[in-house]
Amino acid sequence: MADPICHYVMDPRRVEFSKIIQARDAGAAQAFHKSENVMREQIRRARVNQVTSDKPFQKIDHYLAVLDSTHSRAQSNPRFLERLKKYYLSKNVIGESQIPQAHYDLQLRIARERGHGHLTLTADHKKMLAQVVIDEQFESLSRWFDYLWSPDALGFPEYLKLWILDGVTKISKFDPIKEKFTK
């Protein structure tokens, strides 16, 4: 029986890319080949009697093949593209509860240094500051997504688009101890 989700085709460029991801993750606490999505694809493959693998780069390649298969539909199906965009934004835009207290403390310090005196941050002000962070992240990631699935990026393979999106979400993390964004 043919697999309705993904007809696996060995793509040498994708395999090479999978090896690059594996090499990047060498020694990482949470390597990509052990991620929930990659492991879910291995389970799905076993359930439909497809070949699975213990080799990290092959696990990654199997997952990337599914992404190629499903995401390529986005070019011709605006509704699917919109659902895909909502999914990635929901997974990658910070939630209000995830914003560290250090961010709010930094905003108060900046206000104080600009001569606004010692301010007290009310719950409403905190909510407003959080919404600014969320809106900025949403807008930034939304623009990246729109570009990567625009006609200008038709030549990019789907796995590369997703790697770019993943990289964009990791460009900077806020370090509450140093009170700055890290690389």
State the DSSP string of the chain: ---SS------HHHHHHHHHHHHHHTT-TT-GGGSHHHHHHHHHHHHTT----SSHHHHHHHHHHHHHHHHGGGGT-HHHHHHHHHHHHHHHSPPGGGS-HHHHHHHHHHHIIIII-S----HHHHHHHHHHHHHHHHHHHHHHHHHHTSGGGTTS-HHHHHHHHHHHHTS-EEETTTTEEE-
pLDDT at 156: 87
Residue 3 confidence class, pLDDT cut points 50, 70, 90: very low
The confidence score (pLDDT) of residue 30 equals 62
The better pLDDT of the pair 106, 12 is held by 106
The listed range with the strongest mean pLDDT (25-29, 34-38, 149-153, 175-179) is 149-153
List, for residues 76-131, the tens digit of each pLDDT value: 888 989 998 998 899 889 999 999 898 899 999 998 999 988 888 899 999 999 99
Domain ranges across the chain: 1-76, 88-183
Entry pTM: 0.70
Q: Residue 142 has what pLDDT?
A: 94
- Contact in structure between 41 and 62 (CB atoms under 8 Å): yes
**For position 174, what pLDDT does the model report?**
58
Average pLDDT for 18-33: 70
**Rounded to the nearest 5°, which phi and psi values hold at 178?**
-80, -10
* Residue 117 CB contacts under 8 Å (≥ 6 apart), including other chains: 111
Q: What is the mean pLDDT of the chain?
A: 82
Please say if the pLDDT value at position 7 is more than 70: no
The token pair at 64 is: 């990337």
* pLDDT value, residue 163: 79
Confidence class for position 37, pLDDT limits 50, 70, 90 = confident
- Specify the higher pLDDT residue, 3 or 179: 179
Higher local confidence (pLDDT), 6 or 88:
88
